[in-house]
């Protein structure tokens, strides 16, 4: 099998503190004399790969080793067993010559060029030695995970989108989010994986309470903010291949006094927020309210977006960390650009978050909807701590690029993509794509722009692919300020047998405030656009 052995090893910073149970799991933390069933006197050893790759791009199989400075090992060899869905198998071995690994974070990638499109299983076995003990690690060395092969879809077609639209993940975490129970992947790994997947950009939104700590001590805050500056500089360096938008996930305070999270994208200033970090014991009051954090973000040229605003909060996080949902008042705060209503999984939080967004639109609020994975390094599947110090699990939610925000921009550079996000020229998708437009004489409006209510032509070109399934239904929706519900202008529900359809309608829009569109495929994949605003002199 064609394999490019990249052998790129990088060292990054140490870890900080958090209680989000959503990532590669840190197994070495033991508070006081309390025992841990997860603890091992070995570094964490993890294999990962993106869940899909675009045609013509390699499958990077990543080997990530963490905390080897505490528990040094010798890496002898890596073996890869690849099985295509067509039945073909390939086996290759890569010797490392007992290379000593002793860094806080080490990684390498073995890049496989797929011979056939389709889903393939990749089993990775790593032979390592510590002292006299020699072991074989299959996929990872965690207790309680399946160690099953990685599943990667080598796509036969590119991700659906139209010209001048750029697909990305607006919410993901890197190794700068690291602490005593979790850590993300090095930013170089996230960026390269996103490139191979066909993503044009990612926003790295590490936790504010991690970014202000010293590299080697999660209990001490660094007044010079070295980690924050390091992340921003590295994002700039990596951007030519995949645009990396620097940001942070800021802990701020709702009007009801609970801790919630705000995505601050491309702000020129660090925004402090440590209320739910667990660093201050039972003291959970965070530094800034939602309003204060939003104002500070936009004053420093950033974009402010509510992170998973109505997602259900686990009981322990509500009690110990005072986490809560965004209130209606907080979501209406002036300057807040968007709600990240789709957060890597279609759960109750997604449903009620999207409903809340539509209610705000019908109230006349110009606020946008975004989507992202909230991946904490996870690419192929999420490994996570189920009960601290006791048990682990894994599932396929919250993986890099599983949910995307597509942005219409003048070019594929960071400044234009951020500008497109700020103006709401965007849609949310976990697969298909909708090119919504309204033509009026020689003017064409797209999501995020304005048009008058005079007679015009509404058109939605809808795209899917064999990867996401044929189209099932689609609709163009109109909303009027003050109405309780949206109105369906065009609706198709006939389980289409193809991957492309167009919806069109000629009409006057003078009675409406906005137009948007949605679609679903037979496999349950969705896309929904942000509004095109209707401007009428009478309003």
CATH number of the domain within which 267 lies: 3.20.20.140
Q: Is 253 within 8 Å of 236 (Cβ atoms)? A: no
Of 391, 407, 423, the last residue of a domain is 407
Instruction: Write down the residue that tokens 């048990």 correspond to.
Output: 391
- SS3 for 136? strand
Are 304 and 179 part of one and the same domain?
Answer: yes
pLDDT per residue as tens digits for the range 72-112: 999 999 999 999 999 999 999 999 999 999 999 999 999 99
* Judgement on whether residues 337 and 246 belong to the same structural domain of the protein: yes
Which regions of 216-337 does DSSP assign to beta strands (E)? 217-221, 243-253, 259-265, 303-307
Contacts of 131 (CB under 8 A, 6+ apart): none
For 166-251, where are the alpha helices, taking DSSP H only?
187-197, 208-211, 226-238
pLDDT tens for 102-150 read 999 999 999 999 999 999 999 999 999 999 999 999 999 998 899 999 9
Per the domain annotation, does 50 fall within a domain? yes
**Amino acid 538: pLDDT:** 43
Reply yes or no on whether the pLDDT at 433 is more than 80: yes
Is 192 inside a domain boundary? Answer: yes
pLDDT tens digit sequence for 302-320: 999 999 999 999 888 899 8
Quick check: is 414 in a domain?
no
Residue 424 lies in a domain: no
Q: Would 420 be classed as within a structural domain?
A: no
Q: Beta-strand (E) ranges in 3-58?
A: 3-5, 24-25, 44-48, 52-53
Confidence of residue 181 (pLDDT cuts 50, 70, 90): low
- 368 close to 306: Cβ distance less than 8 angstroms: no
Task: Look at residue 52 and give its three-state secondary structure.
Answer: strand
Residue 419 forms part of a structural domain: no
Q: What is the pLDDT of residue 75?
A: 98
Question: Is residue 300 left, alpha or beta, with left meaning phi > 0 and alpha meaning psi from -120 to 50?
Answer: alpha
Instruction: Assess whether 339 and 208 both reside in one domain.
Output: yes
Per-residue pLDDT tens over the stretch 448-481: 999 998 899 999 999 999 999 999 999 999 999 9
Task: Please state the φ and ψ torsions of residue 233, each to the nearest 5 degrees.
Answer: -65, -40
pLDDT tens by residue, 19-39: 334 457 777 777 777 777 888
What pLDDT is stored for residue 5 in this prediction?
A: 46
One domain for residues 126 and 247: yes
Distance of alpha carbon 239 from alpha carbon 168, whole angstroms: 13
Cα separation, 310 vs 350, in Å, equals 8
Q: What pLDDT is attached to residue 495?
A: 67
Which of 375, 407, 439 is a domain's end point? 407
Residue 493 has what pLDDT?
79
- Rounded CA separation 231/250 (Å): 15
Pairing between β-strand 118-130 and β-strand 133-138 as defined by DSSP bridges: antiparallel
Beta-bridge partners for 140: 46
Whether residues 452 and 326 share a domain: the answer is no
> Measured in whole angstroms, how far is the alpha carbon of residue 396 from the centre of its chain?
13
Residues 85 and 207: their CA atoms lie apart, in Å, by 39
In terms of pLDDT, which residue wins out, 279 or 8?
A: 279
pLDDT band (50, 70, 90) for residue 1? very low
pLDDT (0 to 100) of residue 57:
97
Q: Determine the distance from the C-alpha atom of residue 511 to the mean position of all C-alpha atoms in its chain, rounded to a whole number.
A: 37
Same domain, 334 and 438: no
Closest CA to 380 of 66, 179, 36, 120: 120
Which domain range does residue 198 map to? Answer: 3-407
Dist CA 534 CA 512 (whole Å): 7
Beta-bridge mates of residue 235 = none
Going by C-beta distance under 8 Å and a sequence separation of 6 or more, which residues neighbour residue 315? none
* DSSP annotation of 281: T
**pTM listed for this prediction:** 0.92
- The total domain count for the chain is 2
- Final residue before a domain boundary, out of 359, 374, 407: 407
Residues 358 and 472 in one domain: no
Question: How crowded is the C-beta side of 34, counted as CA atoms within 13 Å?
Answer: 10
- DSSP reduced 3-state for 294: helix
Strand, helix or coil for residue 102: coil
Q: For the chain, give the percent of residues with pLDDT over 70.
A: 94
pLDDT in tens, 231-262: 999 999 998 889 999 999 999 999 999 999 99
Token pair, residue 463, equals 């795209």
Q: Are residues 315 and 234 in the same domain?
A: yes
Q: What is the CATH number of the domain that holds 508?
A: 2.60.40.1930
pLDDT surpassing 60 at residue 42: yes
DSSP letter (8 states) at residue 286: -
One domain for residues 329 and 457 = no
Q: Which two tokens stand for residue 94?
A: 């890569």
Which of 291, 517, 282, 261 lies closest to 406 in space, CA to CA?
A: 517
Structure tokens at 40: 């091992």
Q: In sequence order, what are the beta bridge partners of 84?
A: 120
* 467 and 531 share one domain: yes
Separation between Cα atoms, residue 308 and residue 323, nearest integer Å? 12
Does 54 reside within a domain? yes
Is 323 within 8 Å of 311 (Cβ atoms)? no
Helix H or strand E encompassing 484: none
Instruction: Label residue 10 by pLDDT band (50, 70, 90).
Output: very low
User: In terms of C-beta density within 10 A (0-12 exposed, 13-18 middle, 19 or more buried), how is residue 539 classed?
Assistant: exposed
Residue 204 shares a structural domain with residue 241: yes
- Six-digit token string for 528: 């929904």
My answer on whether 151 and 187 are in the same domain is yes
Is residue 408 a contact partner of residue 446, using CB atoms and an 8 Å limit? yes
> How far apart (Å, rounded) are the C-alpha atoms in residues 184 and 66?
10
Confidence of residue 360 (pLDDT cuts 50, 70, 90): very high
Tokens of 441: 């004489």
* Predicted local distance difference test score (pLDDT) of residue 215: 82
Percent of the chain residues past pLDDT 90, beyond the cut? 80
Q: Report which secondary-structure segment, H or E, holds 195.
A: helix 187-197
Res 20: pLDDT: 37
Structure tokens at 457: 């032509």
Residue 418 lies in a domain: no
């Amino acid at each position: 099998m064609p394999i490019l052995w990249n052998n790129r090893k990088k060292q990054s910073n140490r870890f900080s503190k958090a209680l989000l149970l959503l990532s590669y799991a840190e197994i070495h933390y033991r508070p006081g004399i309390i025992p841990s069933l997860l603890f091992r006197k070995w570094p964490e050893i993890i294999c990962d790969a993106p869940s899909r790759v675009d045609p013509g791009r390699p499958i990077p199989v990543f080997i990530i080793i963490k905390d080897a400075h505490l528990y040094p090992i010798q890496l002898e060899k890596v073996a890869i067993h690849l099985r295509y869905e067509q039945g073909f198998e390939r086996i290759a071995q890569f010797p490392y010559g007992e290379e000593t690994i002793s860094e806080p974070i080490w990684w390498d990638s073995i890049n496989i060029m797929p011979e056939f499109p389709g889903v393939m299983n990749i089993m990775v076995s790593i032979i390592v030695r510590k002292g006299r003990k020699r072991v074989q690690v299959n996929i990872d060395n965690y207790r309680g995970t399946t160690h099953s092969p990685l599943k990667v879809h080598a796509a036969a077609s590119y991700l659906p989108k139209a010209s001048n639209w750029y697909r990305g993940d607006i919410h993901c975490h890197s190794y700068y989010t690291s602490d005593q129970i979790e850590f993300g992947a090095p930013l170089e790994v996230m960026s390269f994986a996103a490139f191979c997947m066909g993503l044009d950009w990612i926003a790295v939104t590490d936790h504010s309470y991690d970014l202000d700590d010293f590299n080697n001590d999660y209990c001490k805050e660094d007044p010079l903010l070295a980690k924050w500056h390091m992340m921003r500089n590295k994002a700039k360096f990596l951007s030519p291949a995949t645009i990396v938008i620097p940001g942070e996930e800021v802990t701020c305070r709702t009007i009801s006094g609970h801790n919630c999270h705000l995505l601050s994208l491309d702000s020129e200033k660090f925004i402090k927020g440590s209320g739910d970090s667990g660093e201050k014991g039972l003291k959970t009051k965070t530094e800034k309210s939602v309003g204060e954090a939003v104002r500070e973000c936009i004053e420093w040229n950033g974009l402010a977006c509510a992170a998973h605003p109505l997602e259900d909060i686990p009981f322990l996080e509500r009690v110990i960390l005072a986490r809560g949902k965004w209130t209606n008042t907080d979501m209406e705060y002036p300057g807040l650009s968007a709600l990240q209503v789709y957060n890597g999984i279609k759960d109750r939080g997604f449903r009620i978050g999207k409903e809340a967004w539509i209610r705000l639109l019908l109230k006349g609020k110009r606020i946008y909807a975004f989507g992202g994975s909230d991946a904490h390094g996870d690419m192929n599947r999420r490994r996570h701590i189920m009960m601290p110090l006791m048990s682990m699990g894994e599932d396929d939610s919250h993986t890099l690029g599983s949910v995307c925000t597509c942005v219409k921009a003048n070019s594929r550079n960071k400044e234009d993509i951020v500008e497109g996000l700020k103006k709401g020229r965007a849609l949310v998708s976990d697969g298909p794509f909708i090119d919504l437009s309204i033509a009026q004489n020689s003017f064409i409006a797209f999501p995020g722009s304005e048009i008058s209510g005079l007679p015009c032509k509404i058109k939605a070109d809808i795209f899917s692919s064999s990867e996401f399934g044929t189209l099932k239904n689609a609709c163009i929706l109109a909303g009027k300020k003050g109405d309780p519900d949206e109105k369906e202008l065009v609706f198709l529900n006939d389980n289409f047998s193809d991957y492309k359809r167009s919806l069109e309608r000629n009409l006057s829009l003078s009675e409406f405030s906005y137009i948007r569109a949605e679609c679903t495929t037979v496999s349950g994949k969705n896309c929904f656009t942000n509004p095109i605003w209707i401007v009428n002199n009478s309003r």
